[in-house]
Amino acid sequence: MKPLCLVTILSILIQQSYLKLGADAFSRDGFVRTKGVQFSLNGYPYYANGFNAYWLMYVASDPSQRPKISAAFQEASRHGLTVARTWAFSDGGYRPLQYSPGSYNEDMFQGLDFAIAEARRHGIKIILSFANNYVSFGGKKQYVDWARSRGRPVSSEDDFFTDFLVKDFYKNHIKAVLNRFNTFTKVHYRDDPTIMAWELMNEPRCPSDPTGRTIQAWITEMAAHVKSLDRNHLLEAGLEGFYGQSSPQSKTLNPPGQFGTDFIANNRIPGIDFVTVHSYPDEWFVDSNEQSQMEFLNKWLDAHIQDAQNVLHKPIILAEFGKSTKKAGSAQRDAVFNTVYGKIYESAKRGGSAAGGLFWQLLGNGMDNFQDGYGIILSQSSSTVNVIAQQSRKLTLIRRIFARMINVEKWKRARGYGPVRKGGLN
């Protein structure tokens, strides 16, 4: 009778722990951490299944447009999405966040405040990027131009990574964002668990130094700077995943071009908490056929997930992926999403390093001027929206199962029983 009683008690406990997950494992109030190759929230595995929406701050800076932000987050939450990645930069030019170094547009900052507040209200975490590699929204070129106007002998955009004045401008911007007091939530950004992570730059590249040493030194310096100001949040570099000199055998996987980054070396930097990779075969191999692009996608994802797991020992997010419907139909786009989501799911269910994917990009109704061919409107039923919702359900189920296993293990340890079997799910 004793074993039977134990089985019965455990069965009841599992049922109770399952019902309690809404308050424990599925509470989104805590800071996201890393635990080995997984994310952890309140002691339970966490998956970043979400989207990119670079426009959140820009649109929300106009109070009359804020219902679009609310509606987008509501739809995202309804479809089970957990993370949004967006810009915390807009440097110089039209309606900027930063007019000039250290001079900020309060209307724009309040737009970002509102976006974070709405994400919090709908249980969605945020990844905030500090700067752009490209000229859109100012980018590293704007920082270099600011330094040149103050007498610095800079000429190349890549001087962004080495000039001391440019680096001071950038560090001061990081400080301004971290110390921002949200006018809606009444919480400083640095203290807000709604923010999952900071990103050093959107897709940093330094083609003038193909060795990767310039980017390596810059990430090392800036990661240390961020961590000196904020130990609450995770940090990632914003990398696309191009291999460099530290793994010459993998460089053959790269698309054509000089990027000046090194996926392995850059992500080994201690202050970098998790790994990112981007993938746009339709942009990187414009002359290749659909089959060749999909073959690349499979190899690209497999290599990076394996390296995150076995070499870097950190979680990995596919932080940008998508398929432009300007160049293909919905079936081709669905194939990309199914491939990405399938790789993530197969790793996640085994307790592996693949911790989520953020598609490019989420849009709301009435946002046709932001449509770049990649935009997805969740309220408009489509096969791709169904694929997204299905991935949410699958990752939620994995979280529930792992949480139940953890709760049973805690119960058994508390009563002197041996540990339950570790590992993934069958």
Reduced to 3 states (helix: H, G, I; strand: E, B; else coil), residue 184 is: coil
106 catalytically annotated:
no
Cα(253)–Cα(62) distance, integer angstroms: 43
Tokens of 89: 């930069």
How would you write 281-309 as a 3-class SS string? HHHHCCCCCHHHHHHHHHHHHHHHHHHHH
- Residues in CB range of 425: below 8 A, 6 or more apart: 349, 350, 398, 401, 402
203 catalytically annotated:
yes
Task: Please say whether the beta carbons of 220 and 258 come within 8 A.
Answer: no
Vertex 243 angle, CA 239 and 248, to 5°: 165
Which one of the listed residues 118, 157, 203, 236 is annotated catalytic? 203
Instruction: Please give the C-alpha separations between residue 197 and each of 88, 91, 236, 266, 423, in angstroms, as whole numbers.
Output: 12, 21, 7, 17, 27
Which one of the listed residues 75, 157, 240, 320 is annotated catalytic? 320
What does DSSP assign to residue 257? S
- Residues in CB range of 394: below 8 A, 6 or more apart: 341, 345
- Residues in CB range of 62: below 8 A, 6 or more apart: 111
DSSP string, 122-167: TT-EEEEE--BSSSTTSHHHHHHHHHHHTT----SGGGGGT-HHHH
For 138-149, letters b (16+ CB in 10 Å) and e give bbbbbbbbbbbe
Residue 254's CB: how many other CB atoms inside 10 A?
18
Residue 116's CB: how many other CB atoms inside 10 A?
28
Tokens of 107: 């209307």
Rounded to 5 degrees, what are φ and ψ at 61?
-70, -20
Rounded to 5 degrees, what are φ and ψ at 159?
-65, -15
Task: Please say whether the beta carbons of 15 and 255 come within 8 A.
Answer: no
Residue 170's CB: how many other CB atoms inside 10 A?
25
Report the catalytic residues: 203, 320
